[in-house]
Amino acid sequence: MEKDIFFTPEGLEKIENEIEFLKTVRRKEVAERIKVALGYGDLSENSEYDEAKNEQAQVEERIVKLENMVRNAVVIESDDLNTEIVNIGSTVSVKDLNTDKESTYTIVGSAESSPLEGKISNESPVGSKLIGKKIGDVIDIEVPKGTITLEVMNISL
């Protein structure tokens, strides 16, 4: 049994758009490259053909992977959330009590995490410890560099 994959509505839409792009644009581009490469003759020494076939396999593999994600998608709607408790879809402001640095994270499913955009996975060390917390809660989290102590300052949608 495959596990549920949590998405915000925006995250699911992004995946669905990528599937559509891969099916309608990339498949045609790769098929055209294969067709051109076939025109070069002898397939045993045709690196363009081999490269295009490998790219075709990668595109098809990505489509299957994304379709499986959509099939197992659980969409977290903002109507299902509140600002009392951190959950997937919540935006959380925290203060590192060791450095007094404040950070803001949006908790998302692992498939749409992007730390550079402030989107952290509910399965990450920080994300998993924040789930279920309330404003004012203080938590110690083991991270690769050691232990950090965070205080939940604000929860928004």
Quick: pLDDT tens for 31-78: 999 998 888 777 777 788 889 999 999 999 999 999 999 999 999 887
pTM exceeds cut of 0.85? no
Q: Given this model, what pLDDT does residue 1 score?
A: 65
Percentage, residues of the chain above pLDDT 90: 73
Mean of per-residue pLDDT scores for the chain: 92
Burial 122-154 (b: 16+ CB within 10 A, else e): bebebbebbeebeeeeeeebeeeeeebebbbee
Q: Given this model, what pLDDT does residue 44 score?
A: 73
Q: Given this model, what pLDDT does residue 77 score?
A: 84
HSE-up of residue 75 (Cα within 13 Å, Cβ side): 13
